[in-house]
Structure formats: C-alpha cells, structure tokens
Amino acid sequence: MLQRPDPFNAQCPTRQVLDRIGDKWAVLILIMLDRETLRFNALRRRIENISQKMLSQTLKSLERDGLVRREVFATVPVTVEYSLTELGRTLAKTVEALTLWAESHIEAVQEAQRRYDRGGHEMN
C-alpha cells in the first residue's frame, strides 16, 4: 500500500521524482534524447557546458530510474547509444511544457528582474 502522495513530506517517494526534475542536466538530457537517440560524446557536444562527469553521472541515474536506455555496441572504438524508454518519453513530454513556458515568459521574468534590481519593486 502506498502512502498518500504529499510532495512536501520529505519521506514521500513522489519527492524523489521531483528531486530528479530539480536536476538541471537531467531536464536537458531528457529533452535532447526525446528528439533523437544520441551517443555519449554527441550529447556532450550538444549540451554546452556539461562536464563528462556530470553527463555520465546523470545518464547513470536516469538509466537507474528506467527513463533512459543504454546500449553498447562492440565497434572500435566502442559505441554507446542512449535513448529514452517509453517511461522517459512521457516525462520528456511533460518537461517540454516547461521549456515552452520559459520561452514565452522569459521577457516578463527579465523585466521583473530589472525592476527589482532598480530598487523599487511594485508588483501587479
């Protein structure tokens, strides 16, 4: 029997999932892999400023959560392909709604920041 979902309770398993979303790199990887299957270094080149360590670390935890599939091919040098599982695809769809929000409201946020930084911050 599951305990009542309550993201504000630290013991709730839903919070684990929310903490995963609270991972900048995980979000970017999910969006990227939803577009196409990619190899390790291809992902690395596309997501600017991600270090090898964070990429392999994040991919590993995404794989553990059943969101990303990892396939190794015995080529030379070895090829490793990453793609989304069906579960991962459903999450990616939800996460893309966030990027849409970001793209359409970025100007309002930046305007608010400028107002706040000027000192007087009146809000509506």
Phi and psi (nearest 5°) for 37?
Answer: -65, 140
By a kind-dependent CB cut-off of 5 to 8 A, residue 109 interacts, out of a second copy, DNA, none, with a second copy
Closest distance to a second copy from the beta carbon of 85 (Å): 6
Q: Which two tokens stand for residue 31?
A: 């969006």
Beta strands per DSSP E along the chain: 38-39, 68-73, 79-84
CA 72 to chain centre: 23
- Segment 32 to 51, residues that bind DNA, using CB under 7 A: 39-42, 49-51
φ, ψ (nearest 5 deg) of residue 14: -60, -35
Which residue number, 41 or 90, has a Cβ lying nearer to DNA? 41
Taking the complex as a whole, the smallest distance from the CB of residue 1 to DNA amounts, in Å, to 28
Provide the binding-site residues for DNA, judged by CB under 7 A. 23-25, 39-42, 49-54, 56-57, 59-60, 70, 76-80
